[in-house]
Structure 1
Amino acid sequence: MNLNRRHVVGGLAAVVAGILPTLSFAQGKGVIAIITPSHDNPFFKAEADGAAAKAAELGYEAMVLVHDDDANKQSQLFDTVIAAGVKAIILDNAGADASVAAVQKAKDAGIPSFLIDREITATGVAVSQIVSNNYQGAQLGAEEFVKLMGEAGEYAELIGKESDTNAGIRSKGYHDVIDQYPDMKMVAAQTANWSQTEAYTVMESMLQANPGIKGVISGNDTMAMGAWAALEAAGRTDVIVVGFDGSNDVRDSILKGGIKATVLQPAYAQAQMAVAQADAFITSGSTGVEEKQLMDCVLINADNAAQLETFALKG
């Protein structure tokens, strides 16, 4: 098995595609495991980077792993980090229902979990569940979309992975705003599973079936980028596209006059908050806050896109 190791400030991070062997870590406050979906999506890479940096700052080693949105792989990774005796687990999970057992398994082994970005369908299992206010953020994005569309026209929706609670919450937030405008007509809606490649193909099909599409609202920036690439290839740069996440790629597109807007959810800050709460819990047995915590999102458009850097607003 190939094991790729990379150093982070003050510690060692193991980036693993599968299951880790037993690793020997330097003495310190211990090891914090950071488990997210694939770093091919810059949002999840920002989470891992933010958590690893905070862990190093607080004197921990960081073990960075990727579950690729595969609940079985996630369960195996939990077995590995439990066996390694980590002090805590920071998790962006592989399914709201499917992840409960893994988090419970860690709890039973005396290892606390701190969830970011995605909730699970149980309380009292994880210590913290820190998520963006996806409904509030989706409403912000939808309000901007309606304004850009002039409150009228045919539009399509790209929906995220169906097993991810956030996909449904964002879609509901979009529709609770857009459906108030009778001249806004949704002519197509389909999942692209958070994937840029899949969104490109889906957008091609949507455009062929509905050449009158004037706008596309997307459940995340990765799908928005795929849709925009398909629209560019078809010579349809007149179509209004709005995403969700606040990625640097979409920032750059906005600044070039391509995609029109996105909604920033603070991935880096959220991951750092989870590590800080893990440290508090390890040290004192309590985070001092409620298990479920919401962080508000921020609309990003041409007015403030230049301030966006790695899922955070600067200055």
Structure 2
Amino acid sequence: MKKLATLLLSSAMLLAATFAFAESKGTIAIIMPPHDNPFFRAEADGAAAKAQELGYEVWSVQHGDDPNKQMELFDAAIAKKVVAIILDNAGADATVAAVQKAKDAGIPSFLIDREITKSDVAVSQIISNNFQGAQVGAEEFVKLMGEKGTYIELVGKESDTNAGIRSKGYHDIIDQYPDMKMVAQESSNWSQKEAFEDMQTLLQAHPDVQGVICGNDTMAMGAMAALKAAGKANVIVVGFDGSNDVRDSILAGEIKATVLQPCYRQAEMAVEQADKFIKEGKTGLPEKQLMDCVLINADNAAKLETFKLSE
């Protein structure tokens, strides 16, 4: 009887250990820009939810768009022996060394939203087709403006590759219309506060401006707030990202349009590819993966929720 009890106990312990091993798949690090921007919060949430669904623990942190802080977090991730890193980076050039350091330590990185300037360092770079998205937004902006008038462009952080790509996409379309006149171009660093302050200053020099096209939604919200405060709520404003805040503004008849980049889905895909790479040593996909963006205006804004468009 005692031998049977011992055997049963040993079997139970082995089963428990096997179950624990099967359940413990390691920790995935999720390193993102500040979560006070709902876009980056959605990325972090999407990655965390998918990682937990697939059986991983999550270490979610923010680099604050500071390359030095980002490197510190990579060092911490390496020390924690995470099994993968999901990253929206803090600079196209500055991030290469951090991702290479993780790779040298045997930790694969999967990038979303912003690409880096070197290939074959990250396993995946899943990014929105920012040029295509900007073209779509610019086409709507030109249409809303009636193909003529003065406008201001608010550009994102100058060190961010996406800021330049979106601006080029905008001008690829707008510059085809000779009656569209850009009277000012200002970098508001992706910030709602800076966009509000910049717009207040720019309105003093250009009080009759007819349109504002912005590199992201937070700047569009800041610009719209400044325009409303100045009694100029009829100025055409277009953003980029597809945030709930801008969705609500569109439904309220204020901001006229934005461009959705599916960041939540990108984050999920990055984790799915990390899981496959951990299991098989490859993803079966190219490193650079582009996802097209979608115009959001009064026609479909009600279908938008947390950077996802329902059918």
TM-score under structure 2 normalisation?
0.93
Task: Give the one of 154, 161, 170 matched to 1:174.
Answer: 170
Residues 110 and 74 of structure 1: is their aligned pair in 2 closer, same or farther, counting only changes over 3 Å? same
Q: Distance in 2 between matches of 1:61 and 1:310?
A: 23
Per the TM alignment, residue 211 of structure 1 is displaced from its structure 2 partner at its CA by 1.1
Mapped pair 1:258 → 2:244: no
Residue equivalent to 2:290: 294
Residue equivalent to 2:150: 154
Q: Distance in 1 between matches of 2:291 and 2:57?
A: 26
Q: Which runs of 5+ in 2 are unaligned?
A: 1-21
Residue equivalent to 1:19: none
Mapped pair 1:193 → 2:176: no
Task: Give the one of 66, 78, 100 matched to 1:82.
Answer: 78
Q: Give SS of 1:258's match.
A: coil
Task: Give the one of 30, 35, 39 matched to 2:35.
Answer: 39
Per the TM alignment, residue 124 of structure 1 is displaced from its structure 2 partner at its CA by 0.3
Q: Distance in 2 between matches of 1:206 and 1:259?
A: 18
Per the TM alignment, residue 236 of structure 1 is displaced from its structure 2 partner at its CA by 0.2
Residue equivalent to 1:275: 271
Q: Distance in 2 between matches of 1:27 and 1:229?
A: 49
Greater C-alpha Rg: 2
Residue equivalent to 1:226: 222
Q: Distance in 2 between matches of 1:114 and 1:146?
A: 36
Runs of 4+ in 1 over 3 A off after TM superposition: none
Per the TM alignment, residue 286 of structure 1 is displaced from its structure 2 partner at its CA by 0.4
Does the 8 Å contact 2:237/2:256 carry over to 1? yes
Does the 8 Å contact 2:109/2:123 carry over to 1? yes
Residue equivalent to 2:16: none
Q: Distance in 2 between matches of 1:205 and 1:170?
A: 23
Per the TM alignment, residue 170 of structure 1 is displaced from its structure 2 partner at its CA by 0.1
Structure 1, residues 4-44: CA drift from partner, whole Å, max 9, x if none?
xxxxxxxxxxxxxxxxxxxxxx9611100000000000000
Q: Distance in 1 between matches of 2:160 and 2:216?
A: 12
Q: Distance in 2 between matches of 1:258 and 1:28?
A: 49
Does the 8 Å contact 2:23/2:55 carry over to 1? no
Q: Distance in 2 between matches of 1:241 and 1:148?
A: 9
Aligned Cα root-mean-square deviation (Å): 0.8
Q: Give SS of 1:226's match.
A: helix
Residue equivalent to 2:12: none
TM-score under structure 1 normalisation?
0.91
Q: Distance in 1 between matches of 2:306 and 2:31?
A: 19
Mapped pair 1:114 → 2:110: yes
Residue equivalent to 2:302: 306
Q: Tell me the amino acid that sits aligned with residue 149 of structure 1.
A: M
Residue equivalent to 2:121: 125
Structure 1, residues 137-187: CA drift from partner, whole Å, max 9, x if none?
000000000000000000000000001000000000000000000000000
Q: Which runs of 5+ in 1 are unaligned?
A: 1-25
Per the TM alignment, residue 254 of structure 1 is displaced from its structure 2 partner at its CA by 0.1
Task: Give the % identical residues.
Answer: 76
Larger proportion of helix: 2
Structure 1, residues 241-269: CA drift from partner, whole Å, max 9, x if none?
00000000000000000000000000100
Q: Distance in 2 between matches of 1:256 and 1:243?
A: 15
Q: Tell me the amino acid that sits aligned with residue 272 of structure 1.
A: E
